[in-house]
Amino acid sequence: MSDSNPYTTQLQAGLGLVSETKTLLELWSPGMSANQLHHIALESGRFPTVTARRLRNIVVECFAPRYLVSEGAPAKHLKNLSTIISTADLTQLMLVFTSRANPILGDFVRHVYWSRYAGGYTQITNEDARAFVERGIDDGKTIKRWSETTVRRVSAYLTGCCADYGMLERGSRSTRRTLPFRVSPSVAAYLAYELHFAGVGDNALLTHEDWQLFGMAREDVLEEIKRLSLKGLLIVQVAGDVIRISWKHSRLETLCDVLSQG
């Protein structure tokens, strides 16, 4: 991990926030800042049980770092997709953007959740998360050492976030059952195109760490790309270890329109 992306406690501001994110996407318009969104959300009456300070934390510390980066591109795409793809699919995309904004979550999913899953374990505990957090601190992935209380809280945030995103069972508990979790075709198509437009080459795309959030190795991604090819979303050619993809849509917005048509 680079020093510019240390582990933080930012997840404490709101974990997965699936329903809140959907509401904020409805209220947000392209070009709107986090402060403007907070004001509109406050005035909207859509968050009657949330204090003004708490709502500000949700918008500024959670929604903005996840979805208002890259000139708001994630928010724009999710807003378009939210009316036409299932909440389960939308939640998978939220996992991707939240993991990018919070490297501690992405690393936990990739290195703890999926290794436990692959090992045949049927549950993950807060103690598993705690061991991961302590290892990260020892490896210098935090700016400073965290207190015992912070370690305990962040460990619970990690498993709680995985529950919000459909990977672990929900509820307030220290041991959670793992749930079946597989990337959806719509999410796979979006992610492949989004990485492509971000400048990731065809071969590098197959091993990008975002796929590992879904437990996918290179060969899994290649099979998924082939399935997208069968649906006419792209054209793939494979020769040995070299892959070449012909991208049929020149903009992500166009792909979102295609996905909305089923």
Is the per-residue pLDDT at 2 higher than 70?
no
pTM of the model: 0.95
- Predicted confidence (pLDDT) per residue in 104-145, tens digit: 999 999 999 999 999 999 999 999 999 999 999 999 999 999
CA distance linking residue 160 with residue 11, whole number of Å: 10
When the candidates are 1.10.260.30, 1.10.3540.10, 1.10.3720.10, 2.60.40.3950, the CATH number that belongs to 1-181 is 1.10.3540.10
- Sorted by where each begins, the domain ranges of the chain are 1-181, 185-260
Range with the lowest mean pLDDT among 30-44, 95-109, 171-185?
A: 171-185
Q: For domain 185-260, which architecture applies?
A: Orthogonal Bundle (1.10)
Q: What is the mean pLDDT of the chain?
A: 94
Q: How many residues in total does the chain contain?
A: 262
Mean pLDDT within 167-181: 92
* Cα angle: 198, vertex 203, 205; to 5 degrees: 40
What does residue 260 show for φ and ψ, rounded to 5 degrees? -70, -20
The pLDDT of residue 257 is: 85
CB 208 within 8 A of CB 195: yes
The pLDDT of residue 38 is: 97
Mean pLDDT within 159-170: 96
Q: Check for a shared fold between 1-181 and 185-260.
A: no
